[in-house]
A and B are shown apart, each in its own frame.
Chain A
Amino acid sequence: MHMHNHRHPFECVIPEHMLEKIATNGTDAQKQKAMENISVGYQLRAERAMRASLKELFASTVPRAVAGGKERVVYDVRHGTSLPGTVVRREGEAPSSDPAVNEAYDGSGVTYDLFKDVYGRNSINNNAMRLDSSVHYRTGYDNAFWDGKQMVYGDGDENLPMDERLFNRFTIAIDIIGHELTHGVTQFEAKLVYSQQPGALNESMSDVFGSLVKQYQLRQTAAEADWIIGGGLLTENVNGIGIRTMKAPGTAYDDPVLGKDPQPAHMRDYVNTISDNGGVHINSGIPNHAFYLTAMELGGYAWEKAGQIWYVTLRDKLGENSNFQQCADLTYQTAGDLFGSGSLEQQAVKNGWAGVGLTVGGGETTEPGGCLEATLRFIGAAPAK
């Protein structure tokens, strides 16, 4: 698959000195364009400053841990709809008699630990955001979601007779908790829009770090992990092992009532649909499997190398409209930055994406050199593509 996503030089951070040199030494046309670019650069800096102050303003509206470290609060909505509900457990308090409360507390704790201890991230926003979870949301609510500020969990289909229930409570699987919290990390970092391929990447990042939270809790290597998302969530009435599997997308369940797991594991099976925001929970199977293949090739604990590569890519490289090809190129680039060009780690990333039908570098280059090339092209110093 070839992506023709021409880079505009203004999207790149063009060093001021380079522009000034062009403005001094270039041809008349080059000088004029460089001057325009410098002037736009000032505008961009003003915009960035404004965005930074908005970010600060937003950060101040989210609840912050008092001591600046790990702080969890679990609320009980008591089957109502008003969030967040009544506080039932705060940081450091003894376990509750309610398993959903303890699962939300423990699961958000392990998620915090993974991001802090392994990736050096101080909570969801990297600024000590308090981790709020609400359990027992509504009645018969077979879902969990991140509302932009907190996690919300339903109890499944507890309002149906036992023999008709498909779902258990949504806190039952720690990877679901990690999944929801990672939506928060994505919200503060790459801000991947929740539609089509960027949306599927958003979902995949949540599955990747959700699974890593579980592996980190259990201290499992890539080979020991089950790579199932939502293990234990389905009741015994359903023929399935979970909601998704990163190891073998499309095989998590096959059931007369629930239907069949629709996830593809390869680009040739990519599902074009308008449903589910353009198949964000469906096509996420492709990048999920690429991560699995990468982690398996690297061996050991998946959160250490493969997880690090994916995390840095999410934090520093992906943008709100990034697609699968760009994610493949950028994880490859990150692996080179972290472990060296041509390293085994970089090769594993390349092989991981090849396993799902994506060739690293198969689209237009996204390496830093691309910015220089785009700038030169813009001012007429390099041939147009």
Chain B
Amino acid sequence: MDVERIKFERVGGFANMRLAADLDMHELSEEQADTLKELLDELDFAELPAKLTSDKSMPDEFTYTITVEAEKWQHTVITSDAPDDEKMQELLELLNRLARKQLRKH
């Protein structure tokens, strides 16, 4: 997957701390970039529905917006906190960690 950039935002939650990151794949470590690409491939991210949340929000759950930009395509997925897909959970955990790192830098 020829991914160039990932934009990530997390809102809601009990503490309502907005977490956002704009990740340039070329600026990440090779290991991080590879892991992300692998997860996106396994999820077949470009083919995922735009909305993975139910219409009814659960109290205090997070809502995540992930936009993946490649050379020839771009796709945004909005998901809630409890997707059944383990790969999606792994992706969310990794993006959370990377966003927290960016948070401290700024």
- Name A residues whose Cβ lies closer than 8 Å to a Cβ of B: 81, 138-140, 142-148, 157, 159-160, 164, 166-167, 170, 176, 179-180, 183, 186, 194-195, 199, 202-203, 206, 230, 233, 243, 257-259, 262, 275-277, 281-282
**List of 9 A-B pairs having minimum Cβ-Cβ separation, nearest first:** A281-B16, A145-B60, A183-B59, A143-B13, A194-B57, A243-B15, A145-B61, A275-B11, A144-B14
Smallest beta-carbon distance A287→chain B, Å: 16
**Would you list which residues of chain B between 39 and 82 have a CB under 8 Å from chain A?**
56-63, 81-82
CB atoms of A281 and B59 under 8 A apart:
no
CB atoms of A144 and B89 under 8 A apart:
no
Identify whether the interface residues of A are mostly helix, strand, loop, or mixed: loop
Smallest beta-carbon distance A284→chain B, Å: 10
Q: Sample 20 A-B pairs with CB under 8 A, ordered by A number.
A: A81-B89, A140-B97, A142-B13, A142-B17, A143-B13, A144-B14, A145-B61, A146-B58, A147-B82, A159-B97, A167-B15, A176-B14, A186-B59, A194-B56, A194-B58, A195-B57, A257-B104, A262-B16, A276-B11, A282-B16
- List chain A residues, Cβ under 8 A from B56: 194
CB atoms of B93 and A143 under 8 A apart:
no
- List chain B residues, Cβ under 8 A from A194: 56-59
- Bound-state CA distance A360–B62 (Å) is 34
CB atoms of A276 and B16 under 8 A apart:
yes
CB atoms of A148 and B58 under 8 A apart:
yes
- Bound-state CA distance A253–B93 (Å) is 25
Smallest beta-carbon distance B55→chain A, Å: 10
- List chain B residues, Cβ under 8 A from A276: 11-12, 16
Instruction: Knowing A81-B86, A233-B15, A257-B104 are in contact, say whether A145-B81 is a contact too (CB < 8 A).
Output: yes
Instruction: Tell me which of B11, B17, B97, B104 has the highest count of chain A C-beta atoms within 10 A of its own C-beta.
Output: B17
- Bound-state CA distance A262–B17 (Å) is 10
B103 within 8 A of A: yes
Instruction: Tell me which of A143, A166, A170, A276 has the highest count of chain B C-beta atoms within 10 A of its own C-beta.
Output: A143
- List chain A residues, Cβ under 8 A from B104: 164, 257
CB atoms of A138 and B14 under 8 A apart:
no
CB atoms of B14 and A179 under 8 A apart:
yes
- Name the residue of chain B whose CB is nearest to the CB of A258: B17
B26 within 8 A of A: no
- Name the residue of chain B whose CB is nearest to the CB of A156: B15
